[in-house]
Amino acid sequence: MDNDVAAGSTTTTTLGHLALGLTLLAFGLGRTEVIDGVTAADAVSLATYVGGVALFAAGLLALRERDAFTGTAFSGLGALWFTWGVGADAQVSDNAAGLFLLLFALVALSLTAGAPAAAPLTRGVYALLFVAMLLLAVAAFGDSEGLAKTGGWFAAAGGLVAWYAGTAALAHWPTAMPGRAAGRGVTATG
């Protein structure tokens, strides 16, 4: 592989968005319990291997391609999903689960704050992930099933946005709304 690869490989970013999207969608829908008999625990294998291993590998590839933000995001989130997946069967207190989710939220907040140069869809994914994990953390601390379901909906929405970002890159779909002129008599240049 050539060491002079330009930063921000579309293939790596697409793989990462698809992995994150599917994991978040499965986890979020499981938290909402909107599908009868499906819970977040049913997303453990997907979170471990797709959200954990595949996302972590995509992060390492992005780092190798000198894309520091994407590499940090995907490898960090991959490590967190893998940790959640392998520890899902462990008996932990609600406070310990809440602390893990709060730490997960802080990583998502860092990614949201560090993403101003990223595509709007990417910023949206990390912002939705932050809100989801924060709500889930508060729900774990306060034993609130309603708040946990709300956090699940935010996670599912983030998963859909991440999935769309990955699919849009593959299918060459639009990822931004077309711009409008600022007002009467204004012309666009370029």
For residue 64, is pLDDT > 60? yes
Residue 187 lies in a domain: no
Number of separate domains in the chain: 1
Is there a domain that residue 118 lies in? yes
Binning pLDDT at 50, 70 and 90, where does residue 184 land? low
Overall average pLDDT of the 162-166 stretch: 93
Residue 79 lies in a domain: yes
pTM > 0.75? yes
pLDDT at 166 over 60: yes
Contact 16, 138 (CB under 8 A): no
Q: Is residue 58 part of a domain?
A: yes
Domain interval for residue 85: 10-171
Residues in CB range of 32: below 8 A, 6 or more apart: 149, 152, 153, 156
Q: Determine what percent of the chain is predicted with pLDDT higher than 70.
A: 88
pLDDT band per the 50, 70, 90 thresholds, residue 177: low
Averaged pLDDT score across all residues of the chain: 87
The two three-digit tokens of residue 96, written as one number: 């310990």
Q: Is residue 189 part of a domain?
A: no
In a domain, 92, yes or no: yes
pLDDT of residue 189: 47
In a domain, 124, yes or no: yes
What CATH number is associated with residue 154? 1.25.40
User: What are the distances in angstroms from CA 112 to CA 28, 124, 147?
Assistant: 19, 8, 22
**Is 182 among the domain residues?**
no
